[in-house]
Amino acid sequence: MDHTLRTSIGRAINSVWVIANEYKNYILLVVGLLAAAYFLGISFQSVKSLVVVSVLFVIGAFSTFYKRYFRAPPAFELMTFTTVVVTINYGFLAGLIYGALVQLSSEVLSGAIDAQIIIFVPARALLAAWVWFGMHVLGISSLFWLGMLAIVAYNLMVQPISFFVGDVQLKAKTIYYTIAYSLFNFFIFSVLSRYVAAIMGIPA
């Protein structure tokens, strides 16, 4: 291999690396969408299903993008809402995988990966189990009330660790996060449930 060819290959590899690094967030999003479509068992011929899940994934993953610009707890997010919708429509396993993927993508897109990701990702995924429990054990069919169950469940899974282990400052942040998360998601489910339920053909 002569010097010119090696130089050309080196430049090509470097160019690909620069582009990949610059657009890594968007590449991650595409990979996440493809993974979600695959694991959820959605055929690419089923345009409606793919579009619905893709839109929900984008909305959920980018809903905490504001953390790139200022530090704030991820209380204002649409991952809970979209995870509940996916679980209702596509089942427990779909919701479990979707919840984990959308939370992980959100953490990367917002540039806020830290040690708490080991709590947030499993907790978001396990919302599917709570929604399934609400539907099949408690007999809840309403998107709004399943959303209320998901809000309570997420707080129970995430907040006690920070509240009982952390110092006074962390306890205060935990209380703020719990209140802000609960109120924001109550508002989201109150406003959006009827419209999304009508589109998806499920009880509001």
The domain locations on the chain are 3-200
How far apart, in Å, are the Cα atoms of 175 and each of 63, 78, 92, 160, 162?
21, 20, 30, 10, 10
Residue with tokens 């309403």: 142
Model confidence pLDDT, tens digit, residues 101-138: 889 888 887 776 777 788 899 999 999 999 999 999 99
Spell out the CATH class of 3-200: mainly alpha
| Average pLDDT value over all residues in the chain | 81
Give dist(CA 36, CA 90) in Å, integer: 12
Residue with tokens 């499920």: 202
- How high is the pLDDT of residue 15? 52
Model confidence pLDDT, tens digit, residues 86-99: 999 888 988 998 89
C-alpha closest to that of 57 among 100, 18, 17? 100
Entry pTM? 0.79
- How high is the pLDDT of residue 6? 58
Give dist(CA 138, CA 67) in Å, integer: 36
Give dist(CA 129, CA 93) in Å, integer: 9
- How high is the pLDDT of residue 16? 47
Give dist(CA 49, CA 116) in Å, integer: 32
- Return the ∠ at Cα 45 (arms to 41 and 51), rounded to 5°: 75
Q: Which helix (H) or strand (E) holds 64?
A: none
pLDDT confidence band for 146 (50 / 70 / 90):
very high
DSSP 132-152: HHHHHTS----HHHHHHHHHH
Phi-psi region of 46 (alpha: psi -120 to 50; beta: other; left: phi over 0): beta
- Share of residues in the chain with pLDDT > 90 (%): 34
CB within 8 Å of 202: residues ≥ 6 apart = 88, 89, 141, 143
Structure tokens at 14: 């470097």
Q: Residues of 93-103 as b/e, b for ≥16 C-beta within 10 angstroms? A: ebbbbbbbbbb
CB within 8 Å of 108: residues ≥ 6 apart = 25, 28
